[in-house]
Chains A and B, each alone.
Chain A
């Protein structure tokens, strides 16, 4: 257990440094983008006939602050805020904190993408095993080809296709949004049903888009393990097929866990195209809006969230490995 804790401490320290570096870089990049949202708003008010002084005060009132200092001061201010987990105020959604905006967008991304990823992982892994076992037959070929095809089709093409089929040709699913607006949000069967209905297309798109990669990865992993000596050894020792199958599956799935953990980290990046196509107000859409609106603090917050998620996923992947692969565990113990 101490090994695990020491490992965790090292990872957290490295992760924090990584987050610091990425935050700094994204801060600098965002600030060097041309355009100034406060000036733009000020300009607009003045154009609408407001006196310069009044416009200045209105902008200050609207956002609660006016950045005056140089880049360095702004940076220190931003980092100081971060230290208190204060991401600042959103510029495009007046009066709302960045964390509030992020949080409300995140739930529309995390849950569907998580569902889609896990669905595609499960289906891909099971079918991958099957494709590997039947690799000399027609069925195995078909499975592998289906994997390659789905892997090759871009997500947004899939999304458009599914959307066209299920909202226009056979209109059984809603075209966009998160729920029917006529239904009051709440913990009611109607609302939840509507949520599920609206989430179906995005989730299926995520699942199909991921499935191809998983089936191909699992197939090659299983084929490799099937060729390993210990599988033949187990066979020659008269082990039951079910036990040998478990030997194969557990060894083959190991490398896939890393990919899974990493893809879960990227989940916070949002699926920009898919959220756009299905008009799903997740992190991807929010990111586009924040860029369009020159919402520095929201952009910064989104990047920070993505970075943190990736770093955390990396740590999780590594710790997971420590738990499921004894070789990694003792490798650290002797180091």
Chain B
């Protein structure tokens, strides 16, 4: 068991996930490279259809048909490449090594069984011998998250509120001592107070149990709240990645900048928030060549039509944009004008 070691690191390399459609196999995630450093919380933000949930499922090699992982690897410490795993090995890794927390609005519990019975099913599936201990762990985790553990274990899903269900989801992801946790839209469909509570719990549990955490969200506020590192996805690609604070303070990719500019401020004129023009590409109209963001980009150049933007890495930050020069990142990008030629 990995629990005595440190939190696992994750290295995603060249990950490409395609979905079979009547128009052929279309990529939802194309050639993504992403590292999750051990013990960090990484937030992945993006609009609907940006491929972030598909990316999250790939960590468990659980992309649902008609989708499939077409290329790449997901290397997890203590587990190896999960893309190469299958059958019983993959099943055992799920839940035991990697915990997955569903969106709160989704019903991730069997409506006909109490939470406690489902914990026991989980234990049985993973060959846990000490069922009493497992239930005690579950109670403890729920108690840690501010719930009456014994009562929740005796409850059915419909007897729990959204916030309670989400905490049950987190408990189920952690009760087998998984050290890598993936949270898919953990606060969507929760009210503001509950959102704040869940995010605090995610942060605290992450620190206490020594986890490596991936949070998928469309809400930059969530990332700002919990994540050490931020990856921005667009059209199936990671367009910008870096320490959350730095990326939010000085976004390099025009898409990140657009996202930040679209958030209304608490003070000041509501008109200062500018919606990003256009709409995100769908599976069918993601351009095969060139930059996926060019149709909505204020910095569009000729080269964007033909060449995929290279990932420019500087220090701990990277961005994939022709307008971002490797020498002097953000300022140049802001000032970049159309017609500028790129190598």
Interface residues of A (CB under 8 A from B): 228-230, 232-240, 243, 247, 250-251, 254, 324-327, 330
Complex partner residue of B126 from A230, A238, A251, CB under 8 angstroms: A238
Q: B91 contacts the other chain (Cβ, under 8 Å)?
A: yes
- Bound Cα distance from A250 to B111, whole angstroms: 10
Beyond known contacts A238-B122, A239-B125, A326-B114: 10 more, CB 8 A cutoff = A229-B102, A229-B107, A230-B110, A233-B109, A237-B94, A237-B95, A238-B96, A238-B126, A254-B112, A326-B156
Bound form: Cα–Cα A230–B107 in Å: 6
- Assess whether A230 is in contact with B109, with CB atoms less than 8 Å apart: yes
Which residues of B99-143 have CB atoms within 8 Å of chain A's CB atoms?
100, 102, 106-114, 121-122, 124-126
Question: Which of B96, B106, B121, B158 has a CB less than 8 Å from the CB of A330?
Answer: B158
Instruction: Please judge, given known A-B contacts A229-B102, A235-B94, A330-B156, whether A240 and B112 are in contact too, CB under 8 Å.
Output: no
How far apart are the CA atoms of A251 and B122 in the complex, in Å? 18
Would you give the shortest CB distance from B82 to chain A, in whole angstroms?
Answer: 12
Query: Contact at B96–A233, with CB atoms within 8 Å?
Result: no
Taking a contact as CB atoms under 8 Å apart, the answer to whether B121 and A238 are in contact is no
Chain A contacts for B92, CB-based, 8 A: 238
Chain A residues within 8 Å of B102, by CB: 229, 233
B44 at the interface (CB under 8 A from A): no
Contact status A250-B112, CB under 8 Å = yes
Query: Using a CB-CB cutoff of 8 Å, which residues 272-305 of chain B contact chain A?
Result: none
For the complex, is B342 an interface residue (Cβ under 8 Å from A)? no
Q: How far is the CB of B76 from chain A (nearest CB, A)?
A: 14
List 20 interface pairs A-B (beta carbons < 8 Å), by A numbering: A230-B110, A233-B169, A234-B110, A236-B60, A237-B122, A238-B96, A238-B122, A238-B125, A239-B95, A240-B91, A240-B124, A243-B124, A243-B125, A251-B110, A251-B111, A251-B112, A254-B112, A324-B112, A330-B158, A330-B159
Bound-state Cα–Cα, A232 to B57, Å: 11
Across the two chains, which residue of chain B brings its CB closest to A331?
A: B158
* Cα(A230)–Cα(B103), bound, Å: 11
Docked-complex contact A326 and B111, CB < 8 angstroms: yes
Query: Which one of A237, A251, A325 has the highest number of Cβ atoms from chain B below 10 Å of its Cβ?
Result: A237
Contact status B108-A327, CB under 8 Å: no
A243: which B residues are within 8 A, CB to CB? 121, 124-125
Q: How far, in angstroms, from A179 to B100 measured CA to CA in the complex?
A: 63
Q: How far is the CA of A247 from the CA of B124 in the complex (A)?
A: 14
Instruction: Give CA–CA (A8, B293) in the complex, Å.
Output: 63
Complex CA gap A237/B175 in Å reads: 11
Q: Give chain A residues whose Cβ lies under 8 Å from the Cβ of B110.
A: 230, 234, 247, 251
Q: Does A229 lie within 8 Å of B108, measured CB to CB?
A: yes
Contact A235 B62 (CB under 8 A): yes
Q: How far is the CA of A243 from the CA of B114 in the complex (A)?
A: 15
Min Cβ gap A320→B in Å is 14
Taken together as a complex, chains A and B put the C-alpha atoms of A234 and B60 apart, in Å, by 13
Q: Do residues B64 and A232 form an inter-chain contact, with CB atoms below 8 A?
A: yes
Taking a contact as CB atoms under 8 Å apart, the answer to whether B122 and A327 are in contact is no
Q: How far is the CA of A251 from the CA of B102 in the complex (A)?
A: 20
Complex Cα distance, B110 from A250, in Å, reads 10
CB contacts (< 8 Å) of B173 on chain A: these are: 237
- What 3 pairs between A and B have smallest CB-CB spacing? A238-B95, A238-B94, A233-B108
Chain B, Cβ-Cβ closest to A229: B106
A324 to chain B: which residues have CB within 8 Å? 112
* Nearest-neighbor residue (CB-CB) of B94 within chain A: A238
In angstroms, Cα B299 to Cα A228, docked, is: 43
CB nearest neighbor in B for A228: B107
A251 and B113 CA atoms in complex are apart in Å by: 10
Given that A232-B64, A327-B158, A330-B158 are known contacts, is A238 also in contact with B108, CB under 8 Å in the complex?
no
Which residues of chain A are within 8 angstroms of B311 by Cβ–Cβ distance? none
Q: How far is the CB of A157 from chain B (nearest CB, A)?
A: 39
Shortest CB-to-CB span from B129 to chain A, Å, is 15
Question: Shortest Cβ distance from A280 into chain B, in angstroms?
Answer: 40
Cβ contact within 8 Å between B94 and A325 = no
- Residues of chain A within 8 A of B169, CB atoms compared: 233
Chain B residues lying within 8 Å of A250, measured Cβ to Cβ, are 112
CA distance A31 to B114 in the complex (A): 56
- A238 and B106 contacting across the interface, CB-CB below 8 Å: no
Is B239 part of the binding interface, using a Cβ–Cβ cutoff of 8 Å? Answer: no
> Nearest chain A CB to B126's CB is how many angstroms away?
6
Closest CB in chain A relative to B196 CB, distance in Å: 24
Indicate if B320 sits at the interface (CB-CB under 8 A): no
B172 at the interface (CB under 8 A from A): yes
Tell me whether A327 and B107 are in contact in the complex, defined as CB-CB below 8 angstroms, given that A237-B95, A251-B112 are known contacts: no
Complex interface: chain B residues within 8 A of A247 (CB): 110, 113
CA distance A251 to B106 in the complex (A): 17
Q: Does residue B93 face the partner (Cβ distance < 8 Å to A)?
A: yes
- B202: min CB distance to chain A, Å: 18
Verify B94–A236 contact, CB threshold 8 A.
yes
Contact residues in B for A237 (Cβ distance below 8 Å):
94-95, 100, 122, 125, 172-173
Minimum CB–CB distance from A329 to chain B (whole Å) comes to 9
A-chain residues with CB within 8 Å of residue B106 when the two chains form the complex? 229, 233
The verdict on A238 contacting B111 (CB below 8 Å), with A232-B64, A243-B124, A327-B156 known, is no
Distance, CA A236 to CA B63, complexed state (A): 10
Contact A326 B158 (CB under 8 A): yes
Minimum distance in angstroms from A180 CB to a CB of chain B:
49
Which B residues lie within 8 Å of A254 (CB)? 112
A78, B55: Cα distance in complex, Å: 74
Q: Which residues of B contact A232 (CB under 8 A)?
A: 62, 64
Are B107 and A236 in touch, CB under 8 angstroms?
no
Chain A residues in 8 Å Cβ range of B156: 326-327, 330
Minimum CB–CB distance from A230 to chain B (whole Å) comes to 5
- The answer to whether A236 touches B95, judged by C-beta atoms less than 8 angstroms apart, is yes
- The CA of A247 and the CA of B107, in the complex, are separated in Å by 14
